[in-house]
Amino acid sequence: MLLAIDVGNTRIKVAVFEKHTLLFQDVFVKEEARKKIENIFKNFSEITESVFSSVGKIENDVLELLQKSSRLNVISSETNFPFENKYATPKTLGVDRMVLASGATLLYPNQNRLIIDAGTCITYDFVTAEDVYLGGAISPGFRLRYEALHNYTAKLPLLTLEQPEHFIGNSTDSSIHSGVVNGIINEIEGFINRYREQYQVLTVILTGGDAEFLAKNIKNTIFANSNFLLESLEAIHHYTIDND
């Protein structure tokens, strides 16, 4: 069995795989990490390997626990990835984006792929059918947009994600919801359409914490999979083991 751990900006996502089958998954805050991971090892005693990637900070005792309890594979910018990286500043490319690009390369072979990760930030990553990573884009996600409207104005309230009832907001709250939600939807649709203008055959993978919400609102054909990062971690783990 394999334990996959992704440390994000605000939360930690984990999953247990057996022969490419997802058996268990969980999401928790960093303060719960050691206790949660200890319980996973207790409940899944057959775990022998773990794969880890991080864009945020994690306590050393958590890494020590993983090293003590399994064969740990840390995915970093130095990992052997299954694509050619054409990013102009590869050392600054987030490991989460490289993991997603790897998953798209390995799980959707021989096709142009656009991976959209809707979390704290919305990231866009593009890998050609020839397995060349070209880059993408980064923009604020839902929470950051709601917080920016509240923090950088004198009177706008802090709201949380909510489906607008109407496109035209007739109150401050409904106007904020319409602006944030419809702004992101139109942004994503616009990005997809621009990519399809240049790459007519395009596979679009939507993932991240807000993927389920967005999938209901996007008209373009997409593959929505909120677990794609964890599945990509599992895929890149086996790729690195086989190509070490």
Could you give the residue numbers annotated as active site?
A: 96
Dump the DSSP string for 207-237.
Answer: ESTTHHHHHTT--S--EE-TTHHHHHHHHHH
User: DSSP assignment, residue 42?
Assistant: H
Count other Cβ atoms within 10 Å, centred on residue 50.
Answer: 27
Q: Please return the burial class of 231, using the count of CB atoms within 10 Å of its CB with bins 0-12, 13-18 and 19+.
A: buried
How far CA 134 is from CA of 54, 84, 98, 230, in Å, comes to: 22, 9, 11, 22
